[in-house]
Structure 1
């Protein structure tokens, strides 16, 4: 699959927390960094996500905010 997003991080699913509609997926991308994504329970099921799976985190955003 080709996509336009250039911000791609490869990692391993470290946890899945189910919710009523959306679940939280934590992906260990190495170096002590974990990315958390909130996706629908339907998407989790369709992708067949499980702890230990190798996945790609794709970040596509029009705004990136930094605060201090």
Structure 2
């Protein structure tokens, strides 16, 4: 599958925390960095996500904010 998003980062699922509607997925992208995503439980099931899976984190945002 090709995507228009250019920010694609390979990683490994380190944890999945289920919720009523959305679950939280933590992905280790290396260098001590972990990305957390909130996706629907339906998407978790459709992708058959499990701890240890190799995945790609895709970031597509119109705004990126930085605070200090």
TM-score, L = length of structure 2: 0.99
Q: In structure 2, what is the equivalent of residue 51 of structure 1? A: 51
Kindly state the Cα deviation for residue 37 of structure 1 after the two structures are TM-superposed: 0.2
Residues 29-40 of structure 1: pairs in structure 2 closer than 5 A: 29-40=29-40
Aligned residue pairs total 68
TM-score, L = length of structure 1: 0.99
Runs of 5+ consecutive residues of structure 1 not aligned to the other structure: none
Distance in 2 of aligned mates of 1:2 and 1:59: 14
Q: In structure 1, what is the equivalent of residue 67 of structure 2? A: 67
Distance in 2 of aligned mates of 1:16 and 1:56: 15
Kindly state the Cα deviation for residue 63 of structure 1 after the two structures are TM-superposed: 0.2
Runs of 5+ consecutive residues of structure 2 not aligned to the other structure: none
Kindly state the Cα deviation for residue 31 of structure 1 after the two structures are TM-superposed: 0.1
